[in-house]
Chain A
Amino acid sequence: MNAAYTPLEPGTEASLRDIGSADILVGIPSYNNAATVGHVVRAVAAGLAKYFPQERAVLVNSDGGSHDDTSRIVARTAVDYQQLLIADRQSVLHRIVTPYRGIPGKGSAFRTIFEIARRLRAKACAVVDADVRSISPEWIEMLLRPVLDEGYDYVAPFYLRHKYDGTITNSLAYPLTRALYGQRIRQPIGGEFGFSGGLAAHYVEQQVWDSEVARFGIDIWMTTEAVANGARVCQSFLGAKIHDPKDPSSDLSAMLRQVVGSLFASMERHADAWSHIEESSPVPLFGFPYEVGVEPVRVDVNAMVSHFRQGLRDLRPIWSRILGTTTLEELSDLNRDESDCRLPDDVWSRIVFDAASAYHHRILPHEHLLKSLTPLYLGRTAFFVLASQGLTSAEAEQMIEHLCVVFERQKPYLVARWEAAQHRPVDRPSMSLTVPDAGGCDDRIY
């Protein structure tokens, strides 16, 4: 990458010269979020005024060329501080509304935000999604305070979510990052993060902006990059996370590819950091956890089962190159009947580990490998939904905890396959998988 390359527009450069420096920066990546971005801007402005009245703050909107009024709304949204009982706002909130350069995607938007943070020498930064409806001014404090006052480098969010909300997080991102890096970060791809100016500078210096990181892979990349480089990490309780209704045209396969591709690519970069870690430890959690009702989520299990069954039927030659012989045989044995959809924790963990080592050994073109995992992921999601029907959120959380324990126990299997001279089918590890009972979530009930 050319060292002189800057992802910033000339107008943004001029704004930076005018502002000079800042203590705090809050970034909002956006694309056609006119319906929700006004609320997010108000929450950010109120949070900064209420909790950080003395600090010089900048709000950056990095936009992907919205066709609606997103940018105009960000620039013009006013906050009635009197209504919020905020009287001591002492510094002006600067706003930078800029389009980003590079590959269209959330990661490229973040890159612009990181670059602006570096130029302004910000001490603490936060990023929040433009489509989140449940954001409050307190989120800004919870994301920034640990960095400013406690010396943390990275603040991950901790939300209350419906048991079927965030299934990539629950079935893949959380168990895998926890098993790899030994830190129990519950929402590694949450979307809202706090981080130090130093970490922002580190992010922007990495040469990953032509990869999946430039798209939806950015969230998991930020988390893994922080933990793998020894940053001080904590979590902040933010309450419920309620999004704008999801984009129906969004392609799950592409999103899964970007997130998992970013995760696997980080594994390659940081193999030395994770290969020797054997167990996980809790990550400090700030805030005041409370129970709250979350929006119900409708799930079409039959469609997911149908996708999984078709994958089992049609993608077998491809899966046989990715998965270990025993894993594939076990998967087939578990799903002999046409209506079966069984991917218990130990099989699922080996599938993920097999896929990671196949990615590492370049058994298939990366794009093919990652996309071929979609039916497996849908099968696992359907299995989880069916197994957790009727369970409370706490009980479903215990199932996820059980999955994480299985991932940690199976890690030697991953290390063995990863370090093998070449990827080849191997037998199931002979170690005993006596996982502690996690609230009645023994594999037998599946």
Chain B
Amino acid sequence: MIEFIDQALMAPLEILGGHIAGILPNILAMSVLLLGGLVVAWSSGHFAERLLHILRFDHLCNRVGMTTMLLRAGIKTDPSRVVGSGLYWTAVLITAIAALSALNLAPINEVAHSLLAYLPHLITAGVILSAGYVCSNFASQAVLIAAVNAGLPPARLIAACSRWGLQLLAAAMALEQLGIAQHIVVVGFGITWGGLVLTAAIAFGLGATDLAKDFLERRVMRTRSTPDDLRHW
């Protein structure tokens, strides 16, 4: 009976105990990493938000139109809080990957490594999209004002084209960075952009002959005469 207990019950328990003893340091390491990572994630997110607030980041975002973009996307919090949250969740993600790696299990390691390898591409794509949005807003605003001051009737259309063109370019670059259908994106962008330019050229040349004529005449003739001789100061 004693032998039976030793062989049938204790031996598996000993093996289980050995396994647990073998994995316990890993679990402990995972717990420490998880706990430490969460603390770091919370503090980095919190401090980043405070720092950006001090640096008047929200004011800057308001100026470049980022706040409007967030509102359109249904995000009603301050941009500095969005950045803080983004930093927090990025740190949580990295912490989770690192914590799972601490278990030293082959399938989990593979997933963790591939996620880590993809992270820089995700961040780069996000930066490209954000920069593209800011640049497109700035450029379209400048184009709109210049077109109105030049007296071009389709000022808003020209400004909208410049905005969407730049945002399309940014989206294509971001998708390429993510490795999603790289060639299709580049070719698709080329065809779309080329098509737009060709359409605009044909429309301007054929459909707006008078406008083209007026525009060119004004450009060419501006040095010869003007309708008035008002001196503004």
Instruction: List A residues at the B interface (Cβ < 8 Å).
Output: 164-169, 173, 189, 219, 243, 245-246, 248-249, 252-253, 255-256, 259, 297-300, 303, 306-307, 310-311, 314-315, 318, 362-365, 367-368, 371-372, 374-375, 381, 422
Q: A168-B232, A300-B227 are in contact. List 5 more A-B contacts (CB 8 A).
A: A166-B231, A167-B230, A298-B228, A365-B63, A422-B59
Size bin of chain B's contact surface: 20 to 34
Whether the pair A307, B63 counts as a contact (CB closer than 8 A) is no
Query: Which B residues, 115 to 161, have Cβ-Cβ distances below 8 Å to chain A?
Result: 138, 141-142, 144-149, 151, 153, 155-156
CA distance A315 to B223 in the complex (A): 28
Whether the pair A166, B233 counts as a contact (CB closer than 8 A) is yes
Q: Which of B141, B146, B228 contacts A299 (CB 8 A)?
A: B228
Whether the pair A255, B226 counts as a contact (CB closer than 8 A) is no
Answer whether A314 and B149 are a contact pair too, CB < 8 Å, given A166-B232, A298-B228: no
Residues of chain A contacted by B19 (CB below 8 angstroms): none
Whether the pair B145, A372 counts as a contact (CB closer than 8 A) is yes
Residues of chain A contacted by B232 (CB below 8 angstroms): 166-168, 252, 255-256, 381
Residues of chain A contacted by B146 (CB below 8 angstroms): 371
Q: Which of A164, A248, A303, A363 contacts B63 (CB 8 A)?
A: A363
Q: Which of B147, B149, B222 contacts A249 (CB 8 A)?
A: B222
CA distance A311 to B156 in the complex (A): 11
Query: Can you identify 29 A-B contacts, CB atoms within 8 angstroms?
Result: A168-B232, A169-B233, A219-B233, A243-B231, A246-B229, A248-B224, A249-B222, A253-B149, A255-B233, A297-B230, A298-B227, A298-B228, A299-B230, A300-B228, A303-B227, A303-B228, A307-B151, A310-B151, A314-B144, A314-B156, A315-B145, A362-B59, A364-B63, A371-B146, A371-B149, A374-B149, A375-B148, A381-B230, A422-B59
Residues of chain A contacted by B77 (CB below 8 angstroms): none
Residues of chain B contacted by A165 (CB below 8 angstroms): 230-231
Residues of chain A contacted by B228 (CB below 8 angstroms): 297-300, 303
Considering only CB atoms, which chain B residue lies closest to A191 in the complex? B233
CA distance A167 to B224 in the complex (A): 23
Residues of chain B contacted by A164 (CB below 8 angstroms): 230
Whether the pair B233, A306 counts as a contact (CB closer than 8 A) is no
CA distance A167 to B232 in the complex (A): 5
CA distance A166 to B227 in the complex (A): 17
Q: Which of B148, B153, B226 contacts A248 (CB 8 A)?
A: B226
Q: B114 at interface (Cβ–Cβ under 8 A)?
A: no
Residues of chain B contacted by A259 (CB below 8 angstroms): 233
Q: Which of A167, A259, A314, A371 is most buried by chain B, counting CB atoms within 10 A of its CB?
A: A314
Whether the pair A310, B148 counts as a contact (CB closer than 8 A) is yes
Considering only CB atoms, which chain B residue lies closest to A189 in the complex? B233
Whether the pair B225, A248 counts as a contact (CB closer than 8 A) is yes
Q: Which of B148, B149, B231 contacts A297 (CB 8 A)?
A: B231
Residues of chain A contacted by B153 (CB below 8 angstroms): 310
Residues of chain B contacted by A365 (CB below 8 angstroms): 63, 138
Looking at the assembled complex, report how far the CB atom of A316 sits from the nearest CB atom of chain B, in whole angstroms: 10
Query: 9 tightest CB-CB pairs across the interface, nearest first?
Result: A300-B227, A168-B233, A300-B228, A253-B149, A168-B232, A248-B226, A298-B228, A371-B145, A314-B155
Looking at the assembled complex, report how far the CB atom of B156 sits from the nearest CB atom of chain A, in whole angstroms: 5
Residues of chain A contacted by B224 (CB below 8 angstroms): 248
Residues of chain A contacted by B156 (CB below 8 angstroms): 314
Residues of chain A contacted by B141 (CB below 8 angstroms): 318, 364, 368
Whether the pair A368, B145 counts as a contact (CB closer than 8 A) is yes
Looking at the assembled complex, report how far the CB atom of A176 sits from the nearest CB atom of chain B, in whole angstroms: 13
Looking at the assembled complex, report how far the CB atom of A336 sits from the nearest CB atom of chain B, in whole angstroms: 20
Q: Which of B63, B223, B230 is most buried by chain A, counting CB atoms within 10 A of its CB?
A: B230
Residues of chain B contacted by A297 (CB below 8 angstroms): 228-231
CA distance A166 to B226 in the complex (A): 17
Whether the pair A173, B231 counts as a contact (CB closer than 8 A) is no
Whether the pair A248, B227 counts as a contact (CB closer than 8 A) is no
Residues of chain A contacted by B155 (CB below 8 angstroms): 310, 314
Residues of chain A contacted by B63 (CB below 8 angstroms): 362-365
Q: Which of A249, A315, A375 is most buried by chain B, counting CB atoms within 10 A of its CB?
A: A315
Looking at the assembled complex, report how far the CB atom of A398 sits from the nearest CB atom of chain B, in whole angstroms: 21
Whether the pair A306, B149 counts as a contact (CB closer than 8 A) is no
Residues of chain B contacted by A252 (CB below 8 angstroms): 232
Whether the pair A314, B148 counts as a contact (CB closer than 8 A) is yes
Looking at the assembled complex, report how far the CB atom of B138 sits from the nearest CB atom of chain A, in whole angstroms: 7
CA distance A248 to B149 in the complex (A): 16
Query: Which B residues, 206 to 233, have Cβ-Cβ distances below 8 Å to chain A?
Result: 222-233
Looking at the assembled complex, report how far the CB atom of A159 sits from the nearest CB atom of chain B, in whole angstroms: 12
CA distance A303 to B68 in the complex (A): 34
CA distance A310 to B149 in the complex (A): 9
CA distance A303 to B63 in the complex (A): 32
CA distance A307 to B155 in the complex (A): 12
Looking at the assembled complex, report how far the CB atom of A49 sits from the nearest CB atom of chain B, in whole angstroms: 31
Whether the pair B151, A306 counts as a contact (CB closer than 8 A) is yes
Residues of chain A contacted by B148 (CB below 8 angstroms): 307, 310-311, 314-315, 372, 374-375
CA distance A363 to B145 in the complex (A): 16
Considering only CB atoms, which chain A residue lies closest to B233 in the complex? A168
Looking at the assembled complex, report how far the CB atom of A110 sits from the nearest CB atom of chain B, in whole angstroms: 16
CA distance A253 to B233 in the complex (A): 13
Residues of chain B contacted by A310 (CB below 8 angstroms): 148, 151, 153, 155
CA distance A422 to B229 in the complex (A): 41
Residues of chain B contacted by A253 (CB below 8 angstroms): 149
Considering only CB atoms, which chain A residue lies closest to B56 in the complex? A362
CA distance A167 to B228 in the complex (A): 13
Q: Which of B145, B149, B231 contacts A246 (CB 8 A)?
A: B231
CA distance A169 to B232 in the complex (A): 7
Considering only CB atoms, which chain A residue lies closest to B138 in the complex? A365
Looking at the assembled complex, report how far the CB atom of B154 sits from the nearest CB atom of chain A, in whole angstroms: 10
Whether the pair A318, B144 counts as a contact (CB closer than 8 A) is yes
Looking at the assembled complex, report how far the CB atom of B71 sits from the nearest CB atom of chain A, in whole angstroms: 14
Residues of chain B contacted by A245 (CB below 8 angstroms): 229
CA distance A245 to B146 in the complex (A): 26
Looking at the assembled complex, report how far the CB atom of B49 sits from the nearest CB atom of chain A, in whole angstroms: 19
Considering only CB atoms, which chain A residue lies closest to B153 in the complex? A310
CA distance A250 to B232 in the complex (A): 11
Looking at the assembled complex, report how far the CB atom of A145 sits from the nearest CB atom of chain B, in whole angstroms: 26
